[in-house]
Amino acid sequence: MDDFEIELKIGFLEEAEQAITEVESCFLILESDSMNIENINKIFRLAHNLKGSSKAVGFDEFGAFTHEFETFILKIKNGALSCTPAVVNILLQANDHIQLMINGLKSNLAATFDSANLLNQMKNYSEMPAVKNIDKLNPVTEIVSDVSTERYEPTIEELLAMAEAQEALAANQSKMILKPVIELVKTASPTVANAKQPQTVDESIRVALSKVEALLNSVGEMVILQSVLKEQVLGHENEALKKTVIQLSKISKEIQDSSMSLRMTAVKPTFQKMQRIVRDTAQALNKEINFVLKGEDTELDKTVLEKINDPLVHLIRNSVDHGIENSMIRTANNKSEKGTVILSAYHQSGKLVIEVSDDGGGLNPEKLRTKAIEKNIISENQKLTDDECRNLIFAAGFSTKEAVTDVSGRGVGMDVVKTNITELNGEIKITSVLGQGTTFKIILPLTLAIIDSLIVSSCDHKFAVPLTHVHETLRPTFQQIQKNQNIGETLLLRGENLPMYRVGDFFGLRSHLETTDLIALVVRSGEKPFCLMVDDILVQNEIVTKPLGLELQNLKGISGSTILADGKPALILEPQDLILRKKTEFRTNHKVIEKNERSNDRLRVA
């Protein structure tokens, strides 16, 4: 096992621990409110993710257990089992067992467990209460969790003896459960004996986001005061004071940099986790896949990255399972036998884009439509465009494969993908050409990140424009400007005619400057390029976005605010939305119609 694999496994164990704590509270809700569908769905999703991730990092035994766990929950979800206390007991028991496995694996990544008893219980459970001995088993479980805490060294001998004694005592009822205790203690002993072996120390800590944000706020304020102090010290003669201030400013810059970087991590580890998934999935399906990673060093907010993991697993699995055809079909269609799946990340228009694309069979809109009608997701006479058909795969309960495999295809995957991405304020788009492949494009906002921006002025107002939007800047010459009755002034730039919008116009600010005195920011982030005209560019800076109060969140064309170096706040412009601001003023009616159409779309697809 190399270091990387160990890191992956430990990372998974941390995640799993969180998941089962969450599941546990759901189970307790289940007992009191068994009809709560949302709750059941949540449990199912968590179990599903647990299964998927555990297999991905190579905990096969863990995966096998959680697979059965999921199947059991599915029975409840489908109504085959009702939520009697006995059922909930089994669930909690299983949860405890997962916790036990996590603890065991934490101290020894190769630890094995005996889960046969619980597995049988879950497999064979019918409405008959066959699990009377659960209560008796509980004390044993407690011992188990005691063992798995890290303080077992001094008492290891005792525990071993105790466990064996217990085993003898309780041999009839709880042999299966006790076994892991022995296993655990036994596997733990070598670690104790060989004290030189470095213990797996958790080198990361989880910190509440609010704490990081509070830190960033204070640091921002400190940096501003720092620059004020620097100004004040200028007139002073005291050399020692000056020196101290300079040193202080260096340190505060360092503090600022490192606190800013707290939130950002490269997508690399997450991406590399996918390699394993592709390999295992391909093996299980007997396919040959060439997996390509691009842009692994792209940095993303940690919280966003964590939440994008599960959707990515689903998408990648789907690409390998449903996307890439088997080699026979591929050769018949004149394609190379080996399928290609590309996972790439890059920044575009101030957003992060993650793409999963395959060169497989593509999505067949007709097939999806028929399937959706079959599943009662849409009615037979609904007319859908091809794009709408493709989006059907995100509908809840939609799965085109008949057989339920442990690879994919229970009809939860894509549904979860969509939910997770929407939760992040992102969107997912599908492009697919039948016979040539499918690309899933996940577009995520970088709202929490630090943005490189131009600070511009327009009619004595300062604004920040994210640099990602600005393709180039120039001062237009008289010859480049063309006037047009309908669209106003345009800029002729290397044979292209770009419409020019004055920033002031969108805010009711009049500028008396000639167009040739202005600076054009060429924006190419959207479908059509255009120029944003400003009076001046003051500075290029890294800025931290600050949320605006509720009373200002609906301002179109403004994505947030920031605090400039002089301590004053400024608004951050979103050029694409900003130019819509003008259009909506002239075409108010049109906008309403558009809105209605869009909400209809959503209804139809959902």
Partner 1 sequence: MNEESKTLNKYICFNLGVEKYAIPLLTVKEVIRVPEITAVPQTAPYFLGIMNLRGQVISIMDLRKKLNLKESNSVETTVMILNFGKNQLGVMVDCVNYVVSLSDNDISEKPVVSSAHNTDYISGVYRKDNELILILDIVKALSVEELQQLGMAA
Enumerate binding residues for partner 1 (CB under 8 A).
Answer: 216-218, 220-221, 461-462, 507-509, 546-556, 561-563, 567-571
Contacts of 523 (CB under 8 A, 6+ apart): 469, 470, 471, 529, 530, 531, 532, 575, 576
Nearer to partner 1 by C-beta: 34 or 252?
252
Tokens 């340190």 belong to 251
Q: Specify the residue, 47 or 572, whose C-beta has the smaller distance to partner 1.
A: 572
Closest CB to partner 1 among 492 and 555? 555
> 465 with 575: CB under 8 angstroms?
yes
Burial of 122 (0-12, 13-18, 19+ CB in 10 A): buried
Q: How far is the CB of 544 from partner 1 (least distance, A)?
A: 9
Could you give the count of Cα atoms lying within 13 Å of 599 in the half-sphere of its Cβ? Answer: 5
Query: Smallest gap, in angstroms, from Cβ of residue 568 to partner 1?
Result: 5
Collapsed DSSP state (helix, strand, coil) of residue 35: coil
Q: How far is the CB of 554 from partner 1 (least distance, A)?
A: 3
Report in angstroms how near the CB of residue 308 gets to partner 1 at its nearest: 26
**Nearer Cβ to partner 1 (9/263):** 263
For 2, which DSSP code?
-
Which residue carries 């800590």 as its tokens? 205
Q: By C-alpha distance, which of 86, 84, 93, 147 is closest to 117?
A: 93
Residue 483 beta carbon to partner 1: minimum distance, rounded to whole angstroms: 26
Give CA–CA dist 476/533, Å, rounded: 10
In whole angstroms, the minimum distance from the beta carbon of 462 to partner 1 comes to: 7
- Asked if residues 458 and 535 have their Cβ atoms less than 8 Å apart, the reply is yes
Q: Which is nearer to partner 1, 328 or 550 (CB)?
A: 550
Work out the angle at residue 136's Cα, subtended by the Cα atoms of residues 66 and 113, and round it to the nearest 5 degrees: 35
522 phi and psi angles, rounded to 5 deg: -85, 120
Decide whether 120 or 217 has the Cβ nearer to partner 1.
217
Which CB sits closer to partner 1, 514 or 551? 551
CB 477 to partner 1: min, Å: 29
Distance of CA 304 to the CA centre of its chain: 5
Cβ closer to partner 1: 220 or 350? 220
Residue 488 Cβ vs partner 1, minimum distance, rounded to whole Å: 20
Alpha-carbon distance of 161 to 171, in angstroms, equals 15
In angstroms, give the least distance from the CB of 505 to partner 1.
11
Which residues have CB under 8 Å from 534's CB, separation 6+?
456, 457, 458, 463, 465, 503, 518, 519, 521
**β partners of residue 489:** 483
Of 494 and 510, nearer to partner 1 (C-beta) is 510
Q: Which is it for the CA torsion 539, 540, 546, 550, positive or negative?
A: positive
* Least distance between partner 1 and beta carbon 506 (Å): 8
CB of 563 to partner 1, least distance (A): 5
CB-nearer residue toward partner 1: 57 or 572 = 572
Query: What are the CA-CA distances from residue 534 to residues 110, 478, 531, 573 (Å)?
Result: 62, 16, 10, 12
At closest approach, how far in Å is the CB of 562 from partner 1? Answer: 8
Give the per-residue SS3 of 511-534: CCCCHHHCEEEEECCCCCCEEEEE
Cβ-proximal residues to 403 (8 Å cutoff; 6+ apart), any chain: 409
Q: Which is nearer to partner 1, 153 or 221 (CB)?
A: 221
Nearer to partner 1 among residue 75 and residue 462 (C-beta): 462
In 450-518, DSSP assigns E strands to 450-458, 461-466, 470-474, 481-484, 488-493, 496-502
- Alpha-carbon Rg for the chain in angstroms: 30
